[in-house]
Amino acid sequence: MLCACSGEQFKFEEPEPPHSPESLATRDFSASGLSSRTGDWESKFEDIQVDEAESTLKEALSLNYEEARALLGRLEFQRGNFDAALQVFQGIDIRSLTPRMAKAIVERIRQKKPRPKGDHVLPNVMSMHSVSLLIEAILLKARSLGELGKFIEAAKECKVILDTVESALPNGMLDDICEDCKLQDMFHKALELLPSLWIKAGYLDEAITAYRRALVKPWNLEPKRLADVQKNLACTLLYGGVEASLPPQLQIWGTTMPKNNTEEAILLLLILIKKLALREIKWDPEIMDHLTYALSVTGLFELLADHVEQALPGLYRRAERWYFLALCYSACGQNEVALNLLKKVAGRSEGKNKPHFPSFLLGAKLCSQDPIHAREGIAFSRKAIDLVNHQCEHFMGQVHKFLGVCYGGAARASVLDSERMFFQRESLNSLNHAVRNEEEDPEVMFSLGLENAVQRNLDAAFNNAMKYSDMMAGSSGQGWKLLALVVSAEQRFKDAETIVDFALDEAGRVDQLELLRLKAVLQVAQEHPKQAIETYRILLTLVQARRDLQAKNSEQEPTFHSKEFVERNLEKEAWRDLATIYTKLGLWTDAEICVNKAKLIEFYSAHSWHTTEPDYVPSIVSTAEVLMKLGSQSLPIARSFLMNALRLEPTNHEAWLNLGLISKREGSLQQAADFFQAAHELQLSAPVQSFV
């Protein structure tokens, strides 16, 4: 054993499983011949045996009392005898030794600097080997306490190491202060151990303080260790659930300092991402995972996309990188950019690689949200269905839902009647297929109800809307809105208004504004303009109040918020609706004020100007009506405008009515009668607002 002590004298080793239930103090240094006993004498015998072991070590290695106990305790720890090791370490009076240890470290630094003549080394200064040995003893004592589940006591012991070294090195450790001893390594292990002990003890705020303490000064940590400390601190800040603001002494950057845990974690993770890009540390996918979470919860999706794009080639497969970027851009509202990326995944360049199902599914979802991309969505959905049949059957309902919605969008954009009818039929087939696969998914039921409403299958739409509301327990604003529109399409305006009133009590922020506008439109349909004006006043007051509250919140970051965009659009529509009401009442000045308010929000809005727009049906119909008043020579041109309007919106009853008037003036009475009949039937099933 003495050979072992004098060999690798200061090597710190991980504990090994105990080979014997006896401690080394009991087994190897039993010079008195006393054996292990039980009863009242056991502790006295153990003390005697430890003292004998110390005496043997001191005589053989010329060590003092504390050094002998430090070596003996290390051996007990390495054998896995943590109780015995703790007993040995407790015999060292660390508190009385720490000033001498700090003094020795200071003197060591002094020796390494050029000194003037006559400046001699102070007498009775502890050697650095002794300091390292005692630092190791404190560290092993802390680890022994930790192994025994005494985490708070262990953390306090570990903190002694940091306090001692930091008192000697207040400006940090710029280089290895002792090349021939293990002081720096022991100190680094203590820096890493202290926060983990506080976490195990349940004191997360203390753990965060310990992590920060390891980072605020240069402790000469190697890059891997420093990166681990930064990552662990970021994780604790993100997931610990304890808000730990920076102390005043660390707030040195003024207003640019992190304001909360999440901002501090993002800053640390961005530093780590830079190190990864510069290859200062090895690639660690967990860093990107944590950064993804942090930037997602704060809504900084564009920043996340920038860092994904900066990732070195080879870290992600091309399809995975494009998919990741598409998720980021779609989350910040840039669906066109996201779709362009997803088209690359579906392109020829990836034809030889394994198909990336998540990209096809996301592409179908994004296309289902915009009728312009409906045909592309059908292609994405078809590719996803081919993969679903072989490996992802649990997505069958979702894929058919997106396919059905895309078919519906394609039908509304179709020019040919035969093509439109085909798309409408396929839309209902796909959505019904989705309902059979996802019976408990309320969004599938809503999509089916919406498509039935658009195709004027009002009974089926009503049943779907009722089922959707039951699934959502009456908590969905869009469900109540769909139900009210279906009821209004049956010309039951009072019942529809009652539904809206009921929904307003359960509605959220944006849903409440949409429902208020729907209520006002229903009141106009019932010829109650004064009530409608009052409802619009409430809507606009709420919008203004929320805008004022947002302006006062100086801490809010300028990120993308879809709710603000929707509110802005609702405000514009409210002013336009008010202008229409005042126009019908003959209040021209008020109507002009409302139109100007709408123009301030969106100057080139077709609703506000009500002039010719390529795809704005009300303007096209109005242009046709003006041409009809100019005389018989303008009737063919008016007919072409109305036919174009019906191509864009086949269920527009005003276009059918004006076609009937043109046919009547041209003498085609039978054709006029057919047009009037179509206009009458469509008007009877027309909602007060468009379903889509």
pLDDT tens sequence across 192-238: 999 999 999 999 999 999 999 999 889 989 999 999 999 999 999 99
Kindly state whether residue 164 falls inside one of the protein's structural domains. yes
The answer to whether the CB of 235 falls within 8 A of the CB of 262 is no
Q: Is the pLDDT of residue 56 over 60?
A: no
Tell me the average pLDDT across 637-657: 90
Q: Return d(Cα 133, Cα 146) in angstroms, integer.
A: 20
Tell me the average pLDDT across 546-559: 64
Same domain, 574 and 606: yes
CATH number at residue 629: 1.25.40.10
Burial of 506 (0-12, 13-18, 19+ CB in 10 A): middle
Tell me the average pLDDT across 369-380: 93
Kindly state whether residue 269 falls inside one of the protein's structural domains. no
Same domain, 72 and 204: yes
* Banded model confidence at residue 54, pLDDT cuts 50, 70, 90: low
- Helix, coil or strand: residue 651: coil
Same domain, 672 and 542: no
Kindly state whether residue 538 falls inside one of the protein's structural domains. yes
Same domain, 666 and 580: no
Kindly state whether residue 90 falls inside one of the protein's structural domains. yes
List, for residues 67-79, the tens digit of each pLDDT value: 888 899 999 999 9
Same domain, 75 and 210: yes
- Write out 92-146 in H/E/C secondary structure: CCHHHHHHHHHHHHHHHHHHHCCCCCCCCCCCCCCCHHHHHHHHHHHHHHHHHHH
Q: Which of 205, 221, 237 is the C-terminal boundary of a domain? A: 221
Same domain, 578 and 638: no
Same domain, 644 and 592: no
Sign of the torsion formed by the C-alpha atoms of 284, 289, 292 and 294: negative
What kind and span of H or E run contains 231? helix 223-239
The number of domains in the chain is 3
The answer to whether the CB of 126 falls within 8 A of the CB of 104 is yes
Q: Is the pLDDT of residue 451 over 90?
A: yes
Same domain, 543 and 666: no
Q: Return d(Cα 655, Cα 257) in angstroms, integer.
A: 61
Kindly state whether residue 318 falls inside one of the protein's structural domains. no
Question: What pLDDT, on a 0 to 100 scale, did the predictor assign at position 358?
Answer: 92
Q: Which of 221, 253, 285 is the C-terminal boundary of a domain? A: 221
Closest CA to 89 of 175, 176, 147: 147
Question: What pLDDT, on a 0 to 100 scale, did the predictor assign at position 317?
Answer: 87
- Write out 567-635 in H/E/C secondary structure: HHHHHHHHHHHHHHHHHHCCCHHHHHHHHHHHHHHCCCCHHHHCCCCCCCHHHHHHHHHHHHHCCHHHH
Q: Is the pLDDT of residue 145 over 60?
A: yes
Same domain, 582 and 539: yes
Question: What pLDDT, on a 0 to 100 scale, did the predictor assign at position 468?
Answer: 92
Question: What pLDDT, on a 0 to 100 scale, did the predictor assign at position 6?
Answer: 36
Q: Return d(Cα 680, Cα 657) in angstroms, integer.
A: 8
The answer to whether the CB of 524 falls within 8 A of the CB of 689 is no
List, for residues 338-349, the tens digit of each pLDDT value: 999 999 998 887
Residue 568 domain boundaries: 525-549+563-611
Kindly state whether residue 334 falls inside one of the protein's structural domains. no
* Banded model confidence at residue 25, pLDDT cuts 50, 70, 90: very low
Q: Residue 647: left if φ>0, alpha if ψ -120 to 50, beta else—which one? A: alpha
* Banded model confidence at residue 605, pLDDT cuts 50, 70, 90: low
Kindly state whether residue 157 falls inside one of the protein's structural domains. yes
Same domain, 62 and 192: yes
Structure tokens given for 578:
């008010």
Q: Is the pLDDT of residue 426 over 70?
A: yes
Q: Return d(Cα 148, Cα 152) in angstroms, integer.
A: 11
Q: Which of 191, 221, 251 is the C-terminal boundary of a domain? A: 221
Range of weakest confidence among 147-151, 181-185, 324-328: 181-185
Kindly state whether residue 325 falls inside one of the protein's structural domains. no
Q: What is the pTM of this model?
A: 0.72
The answer to whether the CB of 657 falls within 8 A of the CB of 675 is yes
Highest mean pLDDT among 38-42, 127-131, 180-184, 369-373: 369-373
CA diameter of the chain = 132
Same domain, 678 and 541: no
Burial of 15 (0-12, 13-18, 19+ CB in 10 A): middle
DSSP 17: P
Q: Is the pLDDT of residue 445 over 90?
A: yes
- Helix, coil or strand: residue 385: helix
Question: What pLDDT, on a 0 to 100 scale, did the predictor assign at position 55?
Answer: 55
- Helix, coil or strand: residue 88: helix
Same domain, 189 and 74: yes
